[in-house]
Amino acid sequence: NAGVTQTPKFQVLKTGQSMTLQCAQDMNHEYMSWYRQDPGMGLRLIHYSVGAGITDQGEVPNGYNVSRSTTEDFPLRLLSAAPSQTSVYFCASSPLLRRTPYEQYFGPGTRLTVT
Amino acid sequence: GQQVMQIPQYQHVQEGEDFTTYCNSSTTLSNIQWYKQRPGGHPVFLIQLVKSGEVKKQKRLTFQFGEAKKNSSLHITATQTTDVGTYFCARNNQGGKLIFGQGTELSVKP
């Protein structure tokens, strides 16, 4: 099993550009999520999904869109990149235990710089 | 949203010393998870605590869940350089949101 994979590993964008960060998992996990990590801020939840066709907002959803058309994939779209979105982005997946996320498996991260 | 506060933000210890990080909530937690992130790496799940007063051990790591289920701690006995990294707690909020604390960054001087 590859676990959770993320592409690209690194990306540089200009302000106003759009892009999609890819995330895929091969563990048949129902729950998937996106976090951003900034120095001193910990991991902040952007969006999450409890199953195909279901998505919801996390703590910091503005400027980001997600979709979950399959169990395996959970792409994160930046609509119009801003310097404030410079960060490391982690995708994670987990099984649901009594409808709550259990052990999170994280991908290796995407380091995004917006100039 | 419902947060978890972690203290301290940074801890520098001499190898062999003990280390503790604390996770506090103003509201009752259904459960608490702990993760470790090595420098340059991604977070890795350590444990989940569910029961009031629960204590679990993993080798030199001891995890506790408070009686009121509003706080938790991670204690490392006799730290080693391999313990270096950032330790996060995370709480499950209603609806499936898993919210992380700010983390405690541990450095160990050999």
Mutate to test the interface with A, among B42, B97, B105 (most CBs of A within 10 A): B42
pLDDT at B1: 53
Task: Decide if B24 touches A, using CB distance below 8 A.
Answer: no
Task: Identify whether the C-beta of residue B20 lies closer than 8 Å to the C-beta of residue B6.
Answer: no
Is A58 in contact with B33 (Cβ distance < 8 A)? Answer: no
Task: Identify whether the C-beta of residue B109 lies closer than 8 Å to the C-beta of residue B15.
Answer: yes
Residues near A79 by beta carbon (within 8 Å), at least 6 away in sequence: A18, A63, A64, A65
State which amino acid sits at residue A8: P
Task: Decide if B93 touches A, using CB distance below 8 A.
Answer: no
pLDDT at B66: 97
State which amino acid sits at residue A49: S
How many whole angstroms separate alpha carbon A107 and alpha carbon A109?
A: 6
pLDDT at A65: 98
The tokens 């996390």 sit on which residue? A58
> Could you report the per-residue pLDDT of B9-64, keeping only the tens digit for each?
999 999 999 999 999 999 999 999 999 999 999 999 999 999 999 999 999 999 99
Chain A residues touching B1 at Cβ < 8 A: 59
Task: Identify whether the C-beta of residue A14 lies closer than 8 Å to the C-beta of residue A81.
Answer: yes
> Could you report the per-residue pLDDT of A75-113, keeping only the tens digit for each?
999 999 999 999 999 999 999 888 888 899 999 999 999
Residues B4-37 as b/e (b if ≥16 CB within 10 A, e otherwise) read bebeeeebebeeeeebebbbbbeeebebbbbbbb
Task: Decide if B31 touches A, using CB distance below 8 A.
Answer: yes
**Chain A to chain B Cβ contacts (< 8 Å):** 62
Task: Decide if A108 touches B, using CB distance below 8 A.
Answer: yes
